[in-house]
Each structure stands twice: as C-alpha cells, then as structure tokens.
C-alpha cells in the first residue's frame, strides 16, 4: 500500500470516528489542549518536513469550528478550574514568526486567547537546537556515525532524540562548522525576535510560557542542566507581564522526552503547570500534575476531522501506546 493510500484510509477512519453524536458526549467534562507551531504561507523546510505548519486560511477555519464546539479558555482559567466544558486551550510551541504575524491577528478577531511556550535562546539569535539536530541527523553521515557510537540506533526512535549536548558540541568543535551553521539556519528559517514579543506583551489574549531556554530533549539532560535551562528561560519569560511559569516539554513524548521525576523537579522549581504532547484529552477537575496536548496539523479541515483525531488518540492511548 502506498503512503498516500494509507493516509487516505487513516483520514476516512478518523472521519468516521469523528461523528459528533459519538464524540460530543465523550467530551463532556473535558478540556482539550491543542498544540500548534507555525502559521505561514511560506514555511521553512523544517516546518514543512515535520508537518508543523498550517496555512493562515485553514488556521482561521480551525479557530472557527473550535470556537463553535468548545468553550475556549486561557491558561490562567485552566489552572483556576472555573470554566464550562467541553473546553479547549490553544497553545503554540517554540517561537516562529507566524504566531505573532498571522495567528495572533486571526485569534484577536475571534477573541481567542492562547499561550506560546518559548525557547528564548533562538529568539535571542542562538542556533535552534531542534533545527541543529534534525539537520545533522539527516544530512551528515559522519555525525550519525559518531552519534551511534555513543547512542545505538533504536527502531521507532528518531535519531535526533538520541542527541545530547555533549555529543553535538564535541562534533561541531571538530569540524569547520561555519558553513554548516549557515545551512542549518536556512533549513529552520527565521525565528521571532524580541520586538515581536514586545508587541504583544500587554495583549490580554496572549500568554508566554516556558519551553526550556533551548529546545533540548529533557530526557537527555542531567538534573543540573534541566534546572539551569528551566530557570534561565523562566527568568526571561517572567520579564514580561504576560509571562507565566507554565512549562511545556520540548518534543513532549512521555518517557522518550521526559520522566515523571523530572516533572516533580520542575514543579519544585516553581512550574505551576507542566504540559506534554502525547495526545490525550484532559478531564476537568482532575488533579493535574501534568496536562496533555493534542498536535493539530493541516489534515484537520472540519470539526469531524478534529473529533476523529481526538477519538483516534483516545483509542491509541487506551491501548497503552502513549
């Protein structure tokens, strides 16, 4: 079966699952937290390749049907717990420019609040860790060899999640990195800048959260590194009036990208809410040590697609594959 045929079948199954009469009762007393990355007519190759972009027109349509079927809340309301269900919270990760230039104006027209979990390092001009490791693991056979000497390849785990900062730092110090860095920056494209953050700092619909200072896989960090990455970013986020000590794990998959022990550590450092990205819907009123999020992509064109995705993820996670 070709990939295209498989995708079509998957889409049809999801649409069938997404019949509202089936899904709506299930969503009673839930809060669905959706995660986006980039909204752009001209996304970077990185965003294209990892399916992280949605075009502005489709994003506006998604906001319409989400608003029609969910009570859209802001992150402070999520923590206060005082809201009608089914509720939805719109979140973004990383800090690419489309959030500020495309998504915020679209959401402003509908009065929809959102939180963006920022890595401040690439916003301040440093190399974006996620762009760096995806580029090296795709384009540099010498790096892959070095990586696999330290961390053997694992089926079902992408090579970029095996990277830790020591392996990568030693490797880039051993080569002529400047021309490679240029290619990596072109691959992941522009980031938002401090002026973009300043422009929305007093916008009551926009909140800033913490996504580590750079986009490291937390599971590959020591406790000291995690503490330092969290606290440095937290301090920068709290510089803004709309900054909050709410934290989303980069990459977001339980066990592969973080542990429960790390969640406890982050909470002891002051994180008031911790978010992962393995696709579960949250129950309202649950004692949430961690909220889960559902990734939205360009395959979600109608509310049936969205309900279908929620059902699909529910089936997957109830079979233990989270």
Q: Which two tokens stand for residue 112?
A: 């929809």
Q: Closest Cα partner for 215 from 108, 303, 135?
A: 135
Interacting residue ranges for Zn ion, rule: CB under 5 A: 93-94, 250
DSSP string over 50-61? TT-EE-HHHHHH
- By beta-carbon proximity to Zn ion, the closer residue of 248 and 303 is 248
Give the SS3 label for residue 154.
strand
Shortest spacing between CB 117 and Zn ion, in angstroms = 7
Shortest spacing between CB 50 and Zn ion, in angstroms = 10
Between the alpha carbon of residue 58 and those of residues 88, 223, 245, the distances in Å are 18, 41, 31
Shortest spacing between CB 78 and Zn ion, in angstroms = 19
Q: Which two tokens stand for residue 184?
A: 């990596």
- By beta-carbon proximity to Zn ion, the closer residue of 116 and 167 is 116
- Chain position whose Cβ is nearest to Zn ion: 93
CA atoms of 80 and 108, how far apart (whole Å): 23
- By beta-carbon proximity to Zn ion, the closer residue of 69 and 185 is 185
- By beta-carbon proximity to Zn ion, the closer residue of 59 and 216 is 216
Shortest spacing between CB 130 and Zn ion, in angstroms = 6
- By beta-carbon proximity to Zn ion, the closer residue of 216 and 307 is 216
Angle value at C-alpha 73, between 71 and 74, nearest 5 degrees: 170
Shortest spacing between CB 158 and Zn ion, in angstroms = 14
């Amino acid at each position: 079966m070709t990939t295209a045929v498989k995708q079509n079948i998957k889409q049809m199954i999801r649409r069938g699952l997404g019949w509202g009469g089936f899904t709506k009762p299930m969503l009673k007393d839930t809060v669905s937290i959706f995660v986006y990355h980039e909204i752009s007519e001209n996304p970077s190759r990185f965003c294209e390749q990892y399916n992280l972009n949605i075009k502005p027109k489709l994003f506006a349509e998604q906001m319409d049907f989400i608003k029609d079927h969910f009570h859209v809340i802001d992150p402070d309301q999520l923590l206060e717990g005082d809201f009608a269900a089914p509720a939805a919270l719109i979140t973004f990760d990383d800090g690419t420019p489309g959030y500020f230039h495309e998504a915020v104006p679209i959401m402003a027209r509908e009065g929809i609040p959102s939180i963006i979990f920022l890595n401040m390092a690439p916003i301040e001009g440093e190399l974006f860790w996620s762009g760096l490791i995806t580029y090296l693991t795709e384009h540099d056979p010498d790096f892959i060899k070095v990586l696999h000497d330290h961390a053997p390849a694992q089926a079902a785990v992408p090579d970029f999640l095996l990277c830790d900062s020591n392996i990568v730092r030693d490797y880039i110090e051993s080569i002529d990195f400047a021309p490679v860095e240029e290619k990596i920056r072109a691959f992941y494209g522009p980031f938002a800048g401090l002026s973009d953050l300043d422009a929305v700092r007093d916008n009551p619909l926009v909140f800033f959260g913490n996504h580590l200072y750079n986009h490291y896989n937390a599971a590959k960090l020591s406790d000291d590194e995690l503490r330092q990455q969290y606290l440095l970013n937290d301090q920068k986020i709290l510089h803004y009036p709309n900054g909050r000590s709410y934290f989303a794990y980069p990459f977001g998959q339980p066990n592969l990208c973080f542990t429960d022990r790390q969640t406890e550590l982050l909470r002891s450092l002051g994180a008031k809410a911790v978010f992962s990205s393995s696709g579960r819907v949250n129950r309202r009123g649950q004692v949430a040590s961690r909220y889960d999020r559902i990734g939205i992509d360009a395959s979600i064109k109608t509310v049936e697609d969205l309900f279908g995705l929620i059902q699909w993820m529910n089936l997957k996670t109830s079979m233990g594959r989270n």
